[in-house]
Amino acid sequence: MRLSKHAMPVRLALLAAAGMLAAAEPTEESRLLAACQTLRQVPLSAPDLRVLADFARTTEQAPDLRSRAMAAYAAAVLLQGNTNTFARAQQVHRTTFPDDAALLPLTAEQYTAACADCGGGGRRAGTACPACLGRGHIFKLSPLVHTHYTALLEDIAARCRDNADFAARFLEASRETRDDARIERLHALTNQFARRPDLAPALALLDDALAKRAARQLAQEEREARQRAEREVAALRTLAEGPDCTRAIRALRDHLAAHPNEPAALDLQALLEELVAKQERQRLLRNVWTALAVLLGLLAAIPVLRFLLVRQHVRKVGPLPGMGRIDKSAFTDPLSLTAEDSRARVKRKTARIPPPDSTGSTD
């Protein structure tokens, strides 16, 4: 937007210059072109010679056309046989356009010849030669004069047509609204008319169009870069919301290392720190659960290991003290008694059951 504001005065000035060129061509140069075309058919047409003289005196016109119009008018005066007027016109042309002296290279040799009556001496029989009036030479045009005059008219006509073509094409280029098409037209115009002295407006308009296109391309590249960065940030956020925290952290670190100054760098850095803290919490929680699982495993393995590794030692118990002095025959094994022996024992209320062979009877 800043570029277009600065370029607006330039564009207005260029359009005004294009309008001036287009307006000048149909009035003055078109009349000059028509006069040259007529003079090629009628070399001494008075109205058309007047057009040449008027154009040469107009200082607002292009100097190259003024110089050639003045030279052509001087050559036409010479064709009419007015050598004195030609000499003055030639001097004025050389004074006004010192760099274009080659446009009027005509000398007295091209329009005079020695008088045949007096042999160039100017006198005959002691008096002035009546043929040359004592000048010793007579007016005689060389064919080179007419050839040079025709060449000047053709050069002026060609330059008028080039100016008309240049003005029309420049106006078309200035009215073109598409930058690429305008640049293409102006490139063709400046290449074809590279030697024109009034090419500055076309070059300035071309520079303006190139600057606008460069600004548009730069804005497009910045917009694409911004959209690409937004897509990358969205992809990183999606990855950060997924289960693979390690991959997300690695991707965030790589992105921040490659784009440290992008607008979303602070948000991505905060997201990275959050993921690192989350990963650290997950690591600590994983370590806690691992330690708890190891502890529970050890608690479950201790009884098994104790059973497998620690054997039970059975102590051998010997007889009670004094058991050796007891008469074992005085005791009766209760399991060896019969039912009758047990009933008899109850009746007698005695803990000792006499052996069967001692009394012969259990009653």
Instruction: Give 300-321 as a 3 state SS string.
Output: HHHHHHHHHHCCCCCCCCCCCC
Residue 230, classed as helix, strand or coil, is helix
Judge whether 332 and 353 are in contact, CB under 8 Å: yes
Q: pLDDT tens digits, residue range 117-127?
A: 887 787 887 78
Confidence of residue 312 (pLDDT cuts 50, 70, 90): low
Is the pLDDT assigned to residue 80 strictly greater than 80? yes
Mean of the per-residue pLDDT values of the chain? 82
Is the pLDDT assigned to residue 24 strictly greater than 60? no
- pTM of the predicted model as reported, rounded to 2 decimal places: 0.57
Angle in degrees, 0-180, between the axes of helices 63-79 and 46-57, rounded to the nearest 10: 140
Residues forming a β-bridge with 128: 123
- What is the C-alpha radius of gyration for the chain, rounded to an integer number of angstroms? 65
Angle in degrees, 0-180, between the axes of helices 143-175 and 179-192, rounded to the nearest 10: 170
- Sign of dihedral through CA atoms 341, 343, 347, 351? positive
Q: Of 174 and 326, which is predicted with more confidence?
A: 174
Return the pLDDT at 318: 67
Is the pLDDT assigned to residue 154 strictly greater than 90? yes
Residue 125, classed as helix, strand or coil, is coil
Return the pLDDT at 23: 41
Average pLDDT, integer, range 118-141: 82
Is the pLDDT assigned to residue 5 strictly greater than 80? no
Is the pLDDT assigned to residue 270 strictly greater than 60? yes
Give the helix/strand (H/E) hosting 137: strand 137-139
Q: Of 289 and 133, which is predicted with more confidence?
A: 289
Return the pLDDT at 22: 44
Separation CA 206–CA 40 (nearest Å): 38
Return the pLDDT at 267: 86
Is the pLDDT assigned to residue 251 strictly greater than 50? yes
Separation CA 180–CA 275 (nearest Å): 49
